[in-house]
Amino acid sequence: MSQSFKQARETSSDRPFFVHESCYIDEPCEIGKGTKIWHFSHVMKDVRIGRDCVLGQNVNVASRVTIGDRCKIQNNVSLYEGVFLEDEVFCGPSMVFTNVINPRSGIERKSEYKRTLVRKGATIGANATVVCGVTIGRHAFVGAGAVVTSDVPDYALMLGVPAIRKGWMSRHGHRLSVSGPSSAGLMICPESHWRYQEVEPLVVQCLDWPEDQSLQQ
């Protein structure tokens, strides 16, 4: 389980996570065992960060954000209130989350923050933008520079501005395609050789590994 920063700081010699000395960690918050938080990052109060995460340089985590286990947040990413990351989410360098649909400097909209959910195993590429209020499905792959404006199905490959689905991606990060008319609609990952199938329109499943089971055992 996670442990508060204050508890860990009091026993720094056996602290279960690493925080670079240039960071600011506001209390109370929870940081899981094995997590590493690098230079110039700021974690605000009431944040929950899971186990074995990596937060790169200049990452800002706003209050009440939740980050699951084994997530990787690359340099220059801000996670604003309303963002929830499940386990094993990858956020590429300088990608952008938002939390208000129609911001104006002269109008306070703190009561209007939208919930953005990024589900287990999803990847968001460098410089992509996720407009608030959407759900990005399990193991989806948002390409670099894409702008996500609507919900994303599991395993979907999303490219462009605005982002549209251009195919499917395997859990190992490879583009999937049906090999031929004799394949019965199966798509094979070239790395793992696991089989995937679109079991109904826009619903892809892996046939060789449980959907909620991590690759790391």
Considering the domain delimited by 3-101+111-171, tell me its CATH architecture: 3 Solenoid (2.160)
> What pLDDT, on the 0 to 100 scale, is given for residue 216?
74
Q: Which of 7-21, 119-133, 153-167, 197-211 has the lowest mean pLDDT?
A: 7-21
pTM above 0.95, yes or no: no
Residues 6+ apart with CB under 8 A from 171: 121, 139, 155, 189, 192, 194, 206, 209, 215
pLDDT tens per residue across span 166-200: 999 999 999 998 876 656 789 999 999 999 999 99
> What pLDDT, on the 0 to 100 scale, is given for residue 7?
47
- pLDDT-derived band at 95 (thresholds 50, 70, 90) equals very high
Enumerate the domain spans of the chain.
3-101+111-171
Using CA atoms, how far residue 79 sits from 95, 142, 172, 205, in Å, is 10, 17, 25, 29
